[in-house]
Amino acid sequence: MKLFNIQNIPQTPPLRMPARKGLSTFGVVAFLACLSGIGGFLFVARAQQLETARATEAFEYLVEVQFAQQLYQTQTGHYAANLVDLDLSKPAPAHFSIGSMELTASDSSNAHWRLTIQRAGLSPVFGDYEITFDDSGFDASRSSVETSLVSCSAQMSRCFHRMTLAKLDR
Q: What is the pLDDT of residues 23-63, one digit of tens each?
A: 788 888 999 999 999 988 888 888 888 888 888 899 999 99
> Of all residues in the chain, what percent carry a pLDDT higher than 90?
27
Q: Sorting pLDDT into bands at 50, 70 and 90, what band is 93?
A: very high
pTM beyond 0.75: no
Average pLDDT over residues 14-31: 79
What does the pLDDT read at residue 66? 93
Residues 6+ apart with CB under 8 A from 56: 151, 153
Residues 6+ apart with CB under 8 A from 74: 168
What does the pLDDT read at residue 166? 47
Rounded CA separation 115/44 (Å): 30
Rounded CA separation 65/27 (Å): 57
Domain boundaries, given as residue ranges, for the chain: 53-169
Averaged pLDDT score across all residues of the chain = 81
Average pLDDT over residues 124-144: 87
Task: Point out which residues pair with 113 in neighbouring strands.
Answer: 103
Task: Point out which residues pair with 97 in neighbouring strands.
Answer: 118
Q: Sorting pLDDT into bands at 50, 70 and 90, what band is 167?
A: very low
SS3 content of the chain, % helix, strand, coil (to 5): 45, 10, 40
> Looking at the predicted structure, is the pLDDT value of residue 20 above 80?
no
Report which secondary-structure segment, H or E, holds 102. Answer: strand 102-103
